[in-house]
Structure formats: structure tokens, C-alpha cells
């Protein structure tokens, strides 16, 4: 990288690893299965995959190029690229707001993951029956001291990494650890598939029942796609600003999206056969993964080691995502409000921790933050990002940025049609229909 003041990622795998580190997290392994379960399974999955490719990848490319072209945080990016259109700073405002909301409940769930890691290490998960596991999750998640303690620990870790700086902080962990998590999930899939009654889980996940598709199901699929890809709020734009010119942004977006979707689907394959085999309700909600997977560890050889490794790596996957969320706020505070980076991190992390406490105590706030961020803020951010690149930045600059790596940009015309027309209209319709206004 030529500038000295901004951190950057080191190479191809570094970029993909960091963006994938943001994308792959609790969204894939905790949120995806629980939302699939609540929305009827197979048909939801199909709609979800359609959204990833038709809307998610184009919006991700847009964010990457907004960040790289401007070399700024989300606010500064829009101001730099279109100084005469202050309206688009709304994306920055919504993005920072979304980061606060998401991190608040995300760190609570990450706290649950820490508790499960602790339980797994102490070998306190494997001796429980399915009913006991569900009861344990319920009483734990409804208590306050434990969840708050773990959440605070998680936010402290997140802030520590962000203070340490982007490159050293994020890249190093993601590169080695995410492939290991992937292997563990594959092993879980195999074990889950061999459970008696697994077929029902496969049918739930892969046999679409279109009678289950309603407006709100479609909006949930869109929201989950945005959430899982980390798009619609500036995380990917902020990371884009750290990407070197020699990287190919379209390929980066495609690789990250495919990796993210693969991990989500594999998490589904690991979880749903077990859900049915152990008689758990697929629409059990946010506890689904925690109530289901320990049963699988129980049944398999090497369950102890796998359970410890799985929950530990899940914590790390959550960390590489939470770091990217906090980075949006910190880049904004430090570059726009000219705050010292350390102070910015401490302030942001403290406020978010406070909101996290509220999420632990009030279930309703947790759910409100969870649903509003994914189903409202991210899709709306996505509309503005698509419109910005499609109509304001325009084809010539988009092409130029996509070709900055020295190669020929493919599919620019097609991308422009999606960004100008298809994505804004489709997201708009899905959104209005999903909230019952259309």
C-alpha cells in the first residue's frame, strides 16, 4: 500500500480472509439455522440463495469499491465520492447505528458461546440428555450475571483487537483458524447425517414447501442474506478501504459470498438432522444451535475434543465479525470526529456493552435489535449503496475501479443493471411487502 497512515491487508488471501472473517460468524452458525427453522426450511433456503447471488454479491462489490476508491470510513467515503450529495451520508449514519445495534445482541450470543466453551472444557455438556440441554440453555440465557459477564469479556476482547490495529489484529487469526472451523463443521455434518431419523432433517432443509413462503419469510431471507454477508452498513466498505489496488474486487466478493453461503448451508446440514433426531422444535428460536449441537457431540467419538474445538472456534469466528463491526464505529469516530483511536474504541465498546446488558435483561430488546438491524437497516442501506454506485458513481468509475488490479473487468454492464434497477426495486418491494405495507 502506498499511503502510510492507513492500515492495509497484505495479499490476496489476506483480503479474502479478512472479509470472510467478517462475513463468517454467528450469522452462519447461530442465526442462519434458527431463522431457517422459524421460516419453514427448504423454500426459505432457496430464496436465501437467490438473494445472495442476485443482490448480495452486487451490493458487496459496490461496498468494496466505494471503500477502496475513497480510502475512507463509510461517512467520509460518500462525502469524498459525491461531495454534492450529502444525502448519501445517511448510509453512514444508518451504518453506525446498525453497528451499535448488531454488536449489542451479537456480543450476548457470543457470550453464550463462551459459556458453552467453558462448559465443554469442563466436560459438562456431554453428560446431558436432550431435555436437560434445552433446560440448561433456557435457564442460562434467562439468568443475568453469567450472560453479562461473558458478554463483557467478549466485548473486551473485541476492543483489544481493534485497538491493536486492523492488519495484525484480524488477518492473522482468520487465515489459520477459519479453515479448521470448516473441517470441524464437515465432521459434524457427517455425524449428524448418520443419526437415526436424519432424513427428516434433510427433507426439512432441502425439500422446499412453497406454501410456507409469505412476505415476511422473503424479507427474513433477504435480511439474513445481508446480515450473513456483512453488507448494507459499511463494514465491507470500511474493509474495502484497506484493500490494495492490485486486488480484484469482483472475485473477492464472489469468493467471500460462496464461502459464507457454504458454511451456512453446512451448519444447516449439521443441525437439522439432529434437530429432528432429538425431537427439538425447529422453530425453537435463538437457542436452536445451543440446544441441538451438544447432542451430536454426545453421540460421536471424540465428542469432547470436537465440542471444545468447535465452541472455541465459534468464539473466534464471532470475534473476527465483531471486530469488523466495531471497526466501522471506530473508523468513523477517529476519522470524522478526529478522536484518538484508543479513546474511540473504549467509548464505542462501553456504550455497546451497556446496550448488551439491556439485551440480556430484556428479551424484547434483544429481538428488536436482531430483527430491526437485519430486516430494516441493512436492506435499506443496501438500496442506497446500490443506487449510489449505479446512479451516482456511474459506469465509467465503477469499471475503472473494478479494473484497478490491471485486469479486464467482467460483467460491468450486467452489474450496472442490477445496481441501478433490479436491486433497489427488488429490495424495496420485499421490504414493503415484508412489513405488510404492500
d(CA 66, CA 16): 17
Name the residue nearer to ligand PHE (CB basis): 39 or 324: 324
22 binds ligand PHE (CB under 6 A): yes
Among the listed ranges 13-21, 23-31, 170-178, 215-223, the one in contact with ligand PHE (CB under 6 A) is 23-31
Chosen residue from 321, 345, 353, 375 binding ligand PHE by CB under 6 A: 321
Enumerate residues 82-111 that contact ligand PHE by CB under 6 A: 102
Minimum separation from the CB atom of position 28 to ligand PHE (A): 5
d(CA 104, CA 212): 31
286 binds ligand PHE (CB under 6 A): no
Non-local (6+) Cβ contacts of 348 within 8 A are 100, 159, 326, 329, 330, 333
Burial of 433 (0-12, 13-18, 19+ CB in 10 A): middle
345 binds ligand PHE (CB under 6 A): no
230 binds ligand PHE (CB under 6 A): yes
Among the listed ranges 228-236, 237-245, 279-287, 296-304, the one in contact with ligand PHE (CB under 6 A) is 228-236
**Residue 128 CA from chain centroid, whole number:** 30
347: cell is 467509548
User: What's the Cα-to-Cα distance from 108 to each of 29, 41, 269, 282, 366, rounded to whole Å?
Assistant: 15, 26, 25, 22, 9
3-class secondary structure, 223: helix
73 binds ligand PHE (CB under 6 A): no
238 binds ligand PHE (CB under 6 A): no
Name the residue nearer to ligand PHE (CB basis): 230 or 292: 230
237 binds ligand PHE (CB under 6 A): no
Rounded to 5, what percent of the chain is helix, strand, coil?
A: 80, 0, 20
178 binds ligand PHE (CB under 6 A): no
330 binds ligand PHE (CB under 6 A): no
Q: 116, 311 in Cβ contact below 8 A?
A: yes
Minimum separation from the CB atom of position 103 to ligand PHE (A): 9
Q: Which residues are near ligand PHE by CB under 6 A? A: 22-23, 25-28, 102, 227-228, 230, 233, 235, 321, 324-325
Amino acid at each position: 500500500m502506498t499511503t502510510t497512515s492507513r492500515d492495509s491487508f497484505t495479499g490476496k488471501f489476506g483480503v479474502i480472509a479478512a472479509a470472510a472473517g467478517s462475513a463468517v460468524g454467528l450469522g452462519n452458525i447461530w442465526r442462519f439455522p434458527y431463522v431457517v427453522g422459524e421460516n419453514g426450511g427448504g423454500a426459505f433456503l432457496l430464496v436465501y440463495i437467490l438473494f445472495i447471488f442476485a443482490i448480495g454479491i452486487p451490493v458487496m462489490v459496490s461496498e468494496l469499491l466505494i471503500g477502496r476508491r475513497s480510502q475512507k470510513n463509510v461517512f467520509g467515503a460518500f462525502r469524498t465520492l459525491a461531495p454534492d450529495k450529502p444525502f448519501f451520508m445517511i448510509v453512514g449514519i444508518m451504518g453506525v447505528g446498525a453497528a451499535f445495534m448488531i454488536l449489542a445482541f451479537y456480543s450476548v450470543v457470543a457470550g453464550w458461546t463462551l459459556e458453552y466453551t467453558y462448559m465443554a472444557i469442563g466436560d459438562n455438556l456431554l453428560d446431558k440428555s436432550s431435555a436437560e440441554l434445552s433446560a440448561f440453555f433456557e435457564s442460562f440465557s434467562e439468568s443475568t450475571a453469567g450472560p453479562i459477564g461473558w458478554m463483557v469479556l467478549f466485548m473486551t476482547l473485541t476492543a483489544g483487537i481493534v485497538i491493536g490495529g486492523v492488519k495484525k489484529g484480524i488477518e492473522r487469526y482468520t487465515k489459520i483458524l477459519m479453515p479448521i472451523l470448516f473441517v470441524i463443521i464437515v465432521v459434524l455434518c457427517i455425524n449428524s447425517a448418520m443419526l437415526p431419523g436424519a432424513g427428516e432433517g434433510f427433507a426439512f432443509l432441502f425439500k422446499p414447501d412453497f406454501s410456507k413462503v409469505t412476505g415476511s419469510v422473503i424479507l427474513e431471507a433477504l435480511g439474513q442474506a445481508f446480515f450473513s454477508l456483512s453488507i448494507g452498513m459499511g463494514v465491507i466498505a470500511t474493509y474495502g478501504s484497506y484493500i490494495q489496488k492490485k486486488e480484484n474486487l469482483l472475485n473477492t466478493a464472489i469468493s467471500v459470498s460462496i464461502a459464507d453461503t457454504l458454511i451456512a448451508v453446512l451448519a444447516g446440514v449439521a443441525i437439522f438432522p439432529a434437530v429432528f433426531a432429538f425431537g427439538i422444535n425447529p422453530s425453537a428460536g435463538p437457542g436452536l444451535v445451543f440446544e441441538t449441537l451438544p447432542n451430536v457431540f454426545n453421540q460421536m467419538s471424540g465428542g469432547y475434543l470436537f465440542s471444545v474445538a468447535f465452541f472455541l472456534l465459534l468464539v473466534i469466528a464471532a470475534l473476527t465479525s465483531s471486530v469488523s463491526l466495531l471497526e466501522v464505529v471506530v473508523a468513523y469516530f477517529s476519522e470524522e470526529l478526529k478522536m484518538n483511536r484508543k479513546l474511540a474504541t473504549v467509548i464505542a465498546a462501553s456504550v455497546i456493552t451497556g446496550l448488551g446488558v439491556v439485551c440480556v435483561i430484556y428479551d424484547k430488546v434483544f429481538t428488536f435489535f436482531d430483527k430491526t438491524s437485519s430486516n430494516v437497516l441493512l436492506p435499506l442501506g443496501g438500496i442506497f449503496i446500490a443506487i449510489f454506485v449505479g446512479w451516482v458513481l456511474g459506469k465509467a468509475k465503477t469499471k475503472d475501479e473494478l479494473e484497478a488490479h490491471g485486469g479486464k473487468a467482467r460483467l460491468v454492464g450486467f452489474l450496472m443493471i442490477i445496481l441501478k434497477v433490479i436491486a433497489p426495486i427488488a429490495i424495496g418491494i420485499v421490504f414493503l411487502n415484508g412489513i405488510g405495507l404492500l
